[in-house]
Amino acid sequence: MPCLIVAAALVFPRLMIAYLWFFTSWLHMAFDGFLWPLAGFVFAPFSLLWYTVVANHYGGDWGTLQIVVMVLAVLADLSPGKAKSKKK
């Protein structure tokens, strides 16, 4: 079951953020207000999800693994997502 949740988060990050917002207290425990989660929902969903995992599951401790995965999350957020094909 946890593998399905991780797979859903990788495929539909904004759907997972909405699920966490409405049905759990993870986002409320990781952030004081609603501005950062809202900005993360719009601009950086993978980074928001990973920050929430680190804040809740790892107790906010940033080790090497957490930093490496955050860099990968930021790169995933900055990637264009779909390569543009040139049609002649």
In a domain, 27, yes or no: yes
Task: For residues 10 and 50, give the distance between their C-alpha atoms in angstroms, rounded to a whole number.
Answer: 11
What's the sign of the alpha-carbon dihedral 59, 61, 63, 67?
A: positive
Contact in structure between 26 and 1 (CB atoms under 8 Å) = no
How many domains are contained in the chain? 1
Q: What is the pLDDT of residues 20-38, one digit of tens each?
A: 899 999 988 888 888 988 9
In a domain, 84, yes or no: no
DSSP code, position 54: H
In a domain, 83, yes or no: no
Domain that includes residue 67, residue range:
2-78
In a domain, 86, yes or no: no
Task: For residues 41 and 35, give the distance between their C-alpha atoms in angstroms, rounded to a whole number.
Answer: 10
Q: What is the pLDDT of residues 42-73, one digit of tens each?
A: 999 999 999 999 999 999 999 999 999 999 99
Give the Å distances, CA to CA, from 75 to 3, 29, 61: 22, 25, 21
Task: Tell me the whole-structure pTM to 2 decimals.
Answer: 0.81
